[in-house]
């Protein structure tokens, strides 16, 4: 990757590195999980709520790590240098080696900021929003990857740990990084942007996700707007123009260019004639500056059109042709989170267990409604909604009553979904409320119709992938 021991010292240490031969030693990658360490790794020991990375420094070295950042002494016979003290060249240093810092998370972020500054020829797309960040990230990366060497944030690497790890994957030849940016509090996206230095900022929407932490929808909009406020004057804000709070961010960014997308005609880039073919994908017509483009894409659900438009906007902004954009949108590597899994009794399981909010769950129910066959929804608690918790779950319950033949609510908040579906007219023969994933599995084995389409969705903390695993056919 080009990162060396002396680079790390320059980013987090004091004074010059006095051992040039060792300083040239390369670091193959940067990890915070010792199980991912390999020959030549840099291991960053982060303290956490469940465990402490300092307990696994030895394991990282045993797997081949060359360097470790620590913030306290560890029980390993490995020399340690304190970065706040000027190193004594007379000291005999060898690898593997520990560098003692005041705070390993701050050191990781400082290293990422330093490494990003060494690769200013690379450009960054930052993506934030309450719903649709991951889908949009995958589609944007698919589009840019048609013409440029592109790196994207993997999995849930969208926070104060994950973003620095993505930036530390930069190497000579990378032209674009597509980075999802999440947040739990005001100021976090601004901090992430100070590390990544995005040139393009995409905001998908503003919704009640994280209301519990931020207190109001206005604060959520303020937090999301930190991305567009961080853009440079020659940058570009790509905004969901159908969301009035996002559209208003055009007035907040120093970027000279903005592009609004959506389904309404007032947007710069807009779509109509959307036809969903269920699991076969969808058709749509896209309009931009007098051009009309027809697309047939293997993407599930009408709600995914917003991600398609955002990715198209990014592609157009960097000079790609429509043929390249459409090819990128069709790229199987640009897959969205929802997975289609064959299930027992000839069922099809829509595995959308990554996370949940009222908006994303309603969108998933809308997709379910577009499919043929008996419709079953297994819906769990949606967390961190704060004062919107009751209304958000009731909203989902009302929509479920319009779509599904069998509803299973999971957890304390899932009961709100079930109760609201009953209030909206669903028969109590077709609604169940259970406390655990194990009970869901029992209910499905008993009541699941042959050939059903089963949506499984809930917040990450509900671990509802257990249900998918238990109900998968194994074919």
Residue-level pLDDT at 91 = 76
pTM of the model: 0.82
Weakly modelled stretches of the chain, pLDDT under 50: 475
Query: What residue spans define the domains of the chain?
Result: 5-108, 119-334, 339-471
pLDDT at position 336 is: 59
Task: Note the pLDDT tens digit of each residue in 297-343.
Answer: 988 888 889 999 999 999 999 999 999 999 999 987 665 567 888 99
pLDDT of amino acid 144: 97
| Gap between the Cα atoms of 246 and 131, Å rounded | 13
The pLDDT of residue 1: 64
Assigned CATH class of 5-108: alpha beta
pLDDT of residue 184: 83
Domains 5-108 and 339-471 share a fold: no
CATH number of 119-334: 3.40.1190.10
Residue 179 and residue 163 in contact, taking contact as beta carbons nearer than 8 Å:
yes
pLDDT in the model for residue 15: 78
Buried/exposed 233-271: b ≥16 CB within 10 Å, e otherwise: eebbbbbbbbbebbbebeeebebeebbbbbbeeebbbbb
With H, G, I as helix, E, B as strand and everything else as coil, classify residue 263: coil
269-276/282-288 β-pairing: antiparallel
* Topology of the domain covering 339-471: 3.90.190
């Amino acid at each position: 990757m080009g990162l060396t021991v002396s680079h790390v010292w320059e980013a987090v240490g004091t004074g010059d590195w006095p051992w040039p031969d060792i300083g040239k030693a390369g670091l193959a990658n940067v990890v915070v999980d010792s199980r991912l360490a390999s020959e030549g790794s840099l291991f960053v020991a982060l303290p956490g709520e469940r465990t402490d990375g300092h307990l696994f420094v030895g394991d990282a070295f045993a797997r081949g790590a060359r360097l470790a950042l620590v913030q306290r002494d560890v029980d390993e016979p490995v020399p340690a240098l304190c970065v706040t003290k000027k190193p004594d060249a007379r000291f005999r240093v060898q690898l593997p080696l520990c560098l003692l810092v005041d705070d390993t998370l701050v050191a990781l972020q400082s290293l990422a900021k330093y490494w990003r500054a060494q690769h200013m020829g690379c450009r960054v797309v930052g993506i934030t929003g309450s719903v649709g960040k991951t889908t949009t990230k995958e589609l944007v990366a698919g589009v840019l990857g048609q013409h440029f060497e592109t790196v994207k944030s993997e999995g849930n690497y969208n926070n104060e740990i994950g973003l620095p790890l993505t930036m530390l994957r930069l190497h000579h030849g990378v032209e674009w990084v597509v980075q999802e940016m999440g947040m739990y509090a005001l100021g976090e996206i601004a901090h992430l942007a100070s590390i990544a230095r995005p040139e393009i900022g995409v905001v998908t929407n503003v919704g009640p996700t994280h209301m519990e932490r931020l207190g109001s929808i206005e604060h959520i909009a303020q937090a999301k707007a930190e991305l567009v406020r961080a853009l440079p004057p020659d940058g570009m804000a790509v905004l969901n123009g159908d969301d009035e709070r996002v559209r208003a961010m055009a007035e907040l960014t120093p970027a000279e260019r903005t592009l609004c997308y959506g389904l309404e005609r007032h947007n710069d880039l807009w779509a109509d004639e959307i036809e969903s073919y269920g699991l076969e994908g969808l058709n749509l017509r896209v309009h931009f500056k007098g051009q009309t483009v027809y697309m047939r894409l293997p993407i599930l659900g009408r709600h995914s059109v917003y991600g398609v438009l955002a990715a198209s906007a990014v592609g157009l902004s960097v000079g790609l042709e429509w043929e390249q954009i459409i090819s990128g949108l069709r790229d199987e590597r640009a897959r969205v989170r929802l997975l289609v899994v064959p299930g027992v009794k000839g069922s099809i399981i829509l595995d959308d267990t990554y996370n949940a909010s009222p908006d994303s769950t309603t969108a998933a129910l809308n997709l379910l409604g577009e499919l043929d066959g008996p419709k079953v929804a297994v819906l769990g608690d949606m967390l961190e909604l704060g004062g919107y918790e009751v209304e958000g779950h009731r909203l989902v319950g009302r929509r479920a009553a319009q779509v599904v033949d069998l509803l299973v609510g999971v957890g304390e908040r899932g009961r709100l979904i079930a109760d609201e579906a009953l209030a909206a007219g669903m028969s109590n023969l077709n609604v169940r409320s259970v406390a655990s994933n194990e009970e869901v599995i029992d209910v499905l084995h008993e009541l699941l119709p042959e050939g059903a389409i089963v949506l499984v969705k809930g917040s990450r903390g509900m671990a509802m992938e257990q249900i998918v695993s238990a109900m998968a056919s194994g074919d």
